[in-house]
A = this chain, B = another copy of it.
Amino acid sequence: MPEADSQLAALADPTRRAIFERLGRRPMSVGELAAGFTVSRPAVSQHLKALKAARLVEHQKSGTQNIYRVDPEGIAALRRYLDNLWSRALPDLKAAAESSYPRPRKDRK
């Protein structure tokens, strides 16, 4: 699956993964987000662009601000891909993985 490429690549970078984690706690504007990191604000913007292209975050304009939050659907897609990967790599976990997580919810899009 080509989407898993961009998603894994996005999470592979430590700074980008930290941004993702912060957005997991609560939605934030770009400026507020950048204030929590040592890298510049444009750098954060570029990371957000990659995360958005990977469907790991989504954004919503609010006045002059741009509020980013995690994207549950993209995350669910990655989870499914990885569960499948583990299942094939580790047959022992196949049964557990198939019964482990509930049906993905279709709210919010």
Contact = CB atoms under 8 A, between A and B. Distances in A.
* Interface size class, chain A: 20 to 34
A11 B78 CA distance: 13
Instruction: Tell me whether chain A's interface is mostly helix, strand or loop, or mixed.
Output: helix
Interface string A19-59: 01101110000000000000000000000000000000000
A85, A89, A93 — which one has the most chain B CB atoms within 10 A of its CB?
A89
A50 to B, nearest CB: 12
B89 A24 contact: yes
Interface in A58-109: 70, 72, 75, 79, 82, 85-86, 88-90, 92-93, 96-97, 100-102, 105
A5 B8 CA distance: 11
B96 A101 contact: yes
